[in-house]
């Protein structure tokens, strides 16, 4: 059974959605990042970068336990562990999926995350930060909109790139984006959000 260390945030939910999609049994340990639990020595032994998500698979690729952090690495690992689920087999399509996964990891996640920080986390909103990351978030929605008006999913089919991006778009109100302004993103959001595994993964952790 895979151990998932997570909290109720978009990065954590990428991992829980993927575990649900792959039908892999897993056990959830909550790491309350608001209470500083990510800095506890037990968790730092799993992720020295004090961030969720992290997993421990008692049966890694060599049969030995594998500790893994960084949500993108976790998605690729779980895909490969399950024989390539949610990753196209054909090389061209595979690199397109990886391209959009990296777009999420390097763009969508960090920029939306900064927008949340400046727009919500701080008691006194700092207009420069809200403006900068709000504008950048909207620019990224524009890139998603263009792609999703040409294709049903970010890659040629439903892949780990969609799994990585969905929980961030689910926080659109937090970064003050009106989904109605991005109709192709909205259609994709509804399509992905209707998947039973996505619904289950988004409900982790349950309390």
Ligand X SMILES: N[C@@H](CCC(=O)N[C@@H](CS)C(=O)NCC(=O)O)C(=O)O
Which positions touch ligand X (CB under 6 A)?
9-11, 33, 38, 50-53, 70-71, 109
CA 192, CA 100: separation in Å to the nearest integer? Answer: 15
Q: Which is nearer to ligand X, 32 or 149 (CB)?
A: 32
Question: Of 113, 105, 26, 30, which is closest to residue 71 (Cα–Cα)?
Answer: 105
CA 171, CA 108: separation in Å to the nearest integer? Answer: 11
Q: Work out how close the CB of 82 gets to ligand X at its nearest, in angstroms, rounded to a whole number.
A: 20
Q: Work out how close the CB of 54 gets to ligand X at its nearest, in angstroms, rounded to a whole number.
A: 8
Q: Which is nearer to ligand X, 121 or 181 (CB)?
A: 121
CA 67, CA 29: separation in Å to the nearest integer? Answer: 14
Q: Which is nearer to ligand X, 134 or 167 (CB)?
A: 167
CA distances from 186 to 90, 129, 164 (A): 28, 26, 16
Q: Which is nearer to ligand X, 11 or 159 (CB)?
A: 11
71, 105 contact by CB (below 8 A): yes
Q: Work out how close the CB of 159 gets to ligand X at its nearest, in angstroms, rounded to a whole number.
A: 17
Q: Work out how close the CB of 42 gets to ligand X at its nearest, in angstroms, rounded to a whole number.
A: 15
């Amino acid at each position: 059974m895979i151990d998932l260390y997570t909290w109720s945030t978009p990065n954590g939910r990428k991992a829980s959605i993927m575990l649900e999609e792959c039908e892999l049994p897993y056990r959830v340990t909550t790491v309350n990042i608001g209470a500083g639990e990510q800095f506890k020595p037990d968790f730092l032994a799993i992720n020295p970068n004090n961030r969720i998500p992290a997993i421990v698979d008692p049966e890694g690729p060599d049969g030995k336990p594998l500790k893994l952090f960084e949500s993108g690495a976790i998605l690729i690992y779980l895909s490969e562990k399950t024989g390539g689920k949610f990753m196209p087999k054909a090389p061209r399509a595979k690199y397109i999926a990886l391209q959009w996964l990296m777009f999420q990891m390097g763009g969508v996640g960090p920029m939306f995350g900064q927008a949340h920080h400046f727009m919500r986390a701080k008691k006194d909103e700092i207009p420069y930060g809200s403006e900068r990351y709000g504008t950048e978030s909207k620019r990224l929605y524009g890139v998603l909109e263009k792609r999703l008006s040409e294709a049903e999913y970010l890659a040629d089919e439903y892949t780990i790139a969609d799994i990585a991006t969905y929980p961030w778009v689910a926080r659109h109100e937090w970064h003050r984006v009106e989904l109605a302004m991005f109709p192709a993103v909205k259609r994709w959001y509804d399509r992905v959000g209707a998947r039973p595994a996505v619904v289950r993964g988004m409900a982790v952790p349950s309390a």
